Chain A
Amino acid sequence: DAGITQSPRHKVTETGTPVTLRCHQTENHRYMYWYRQDPGHGLRLIHYSYGVKDTDKGEVSDGYSVSRSKTEDFLLTLESATSSQTSVYFCATTLSGNHNEQFFGPGTRLTVL
């Protein structure tokens, strides 16, 4: 998995609670991405980062925020989790640009009750 880890791997939480997912990479890749994967929707981009402290929104960013204070870590926060955010979340990285191949982490399965 190209040195990409995600934590936690599984989480069950209740509606209204804050949740933070962590992505850690050891590849020194500049770009990092958060996706969610849902049946019938495939993979959708939530937010991405093109450098430390540089982030931008993706297709489904509402209800999510991100932070990147170090090259190796990219955090995804659900400020107040809702049941519609129940999903599998994947982190991905790429060396130098959106056009390059992406390397994916193992995923985090989040259930919001």
Chain B
Amino acid sequence: SQQGEEDPQALSIQEGENATMNCSYKTSINNLQWYRQNSGRGLVHLILIRSNEREKHSGRLRVTLDTSKKSSSLLITASRAADTASYFCATYGGSQGNLIFGKGTKLSVKP
């Protein structure tokens, strides 16, 4: 059963624009993670945000977490064609549970 649901399913933007992807989840979490998957490759970890954190930055990435709304957003600023990929959120609920992945947002950045 999917915990995280990304929105939108697909997003197409021009190089230089910002890209925002959202993730909603259903139950309480210990942490939330974002991953990137380039076509035909494995997933690559981008950032982890804990339930007691509200915002985190890594380079051009900014992740926010709102536990009251059970949602997170991933912002990629000044996007590049190389950012074209699928982006997944994954939630960890704690108590020896497993990481549960959403279905992903497919981002296309046009040069």
Interface residues of A (CB under 8 A from B): 1, 4, 33, 35, 40-45, 48, 58-59, 90, 92, 98-99, 101-107
> Quick check: B103 and A40 within 8 Å, CB to CB?
yes
A4 CA / B43 CA spacing, docked (Å): 12
Q: Is the interface of B mostly helix, strand, loop or mixed?
A: loop
Shortest CB–CB separation between residue A13 and chain B, in angstroms?
20
> Quick one: CB contact mask for B24-64 with A, threshold 8 Å, 1 for yes?
00000011010000001111110010000000000000000
B8 within 8 A of A: no
Shortest CB–CB separation between residue B32 and chain A, in angstroms?
11
> Quick check: B43 and A43 within 8 Å, CB to CB?
yes
> Quick check: B43 and A90 within 8 Å, CB to CB?
yes
A1 CA / B45 CA spacing, docked (Å): 10
> Quick check: A98 and B98 within 8 Å, CB to CB?
yes
Using Cβ atoms and an 8 Å threshold, which residues of chain B touch A107? 40-42
4 smallest A-B Cβ distances: which pairs?
A104-B42, A42-B103, A43-B101, A101-B45
Partner of B41, one of A101, A102, A106: A106
> Quick check: B96 and A106 within 8 Å, CB to CB?
no
